[in-house]
């Protein structure tokens, strides 16, 4: 397994959390900490974008952490976007039905980037 790495960047419209490596039970703490920091930061960010392009593996612990952070962000009125999910993440989202609850975007600053307040993508 590839060790999890998390980078937090401030951008004009909010925070971007870039995740690379294996997001599993044994390695979820750095992402959980980054998400908790983003959700309790003052002033609150305009949006939290989690860039998942570099995630090579994600298990239920990783998914649960993302779902919890999405719910907490929603409660605080902060848009929560999963950007560029890797094939491993996309498969897990689809298999579990979590693709119905997340806003999925192309990535921070990209054309067509999910706008704040965007709704989950419609099923195709």
The band of 25, judged by pLDDT with boundaries at 50, 70 and 90, is very high
What's the pTM?
0.85
Q: For the domain that residue 98 is a member of, what is the CATH number?
A: 3.30.750.24
Number of domains in the chain: 1
**Structure letter (DSSP) for residue 60:** H
Residue 21 has φ and ψ, to the nearest 5°, of: 100, -160
CA angle 64, 45, 54 (to 5 degrees): 50
- Joined together, the tokens standing for residue 41 give 């930061």
Share of the chain above pLDDT 90, in %: 77
User: Mean pLDDT across the stretch 38-54?
Assistant: 94
CA angle 88, 61, 95 (to 5 degrees): 45
41 inside domain: yes
Instruction: Check residue 110 and give its pLDDT.
Output: 58
The band of 20, judged by pLDDT with boundaries at 50, 70 and 90, is very high
Count CB atoms within 10 A of the CB of residue 64: 14
Instruction: Quote the domain boundaries for residue 67.
Output: 5-103
109 inside domain: no
């Amino acid at each position: 397994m590839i060790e999890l790495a998390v980078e937090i960047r401030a951008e004009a419209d909010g925070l971007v959390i870039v995740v690379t490596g294996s997001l599993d039970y044994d390695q979820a703490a750095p992402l959980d900490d980054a998400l908790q920091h983003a959700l309790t930061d003052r002033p609150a960010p305009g949006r939290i974008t989690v860039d998942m392009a570099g995630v090579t593996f994600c298990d239920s612990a990783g998914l649960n952490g993302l779902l919890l952070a999405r719910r907490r962000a929603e409660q605080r009125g902060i848009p929560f976007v999963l950007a560029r999910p890797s094939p491993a993440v996309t498969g897990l989202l689809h298999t579990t039905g979590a693709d119905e609850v997340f806003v999925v975007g192309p990535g921070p600053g990209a054309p067509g980037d999910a706008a704040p307040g965007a709704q989950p993508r419609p099923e195709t």
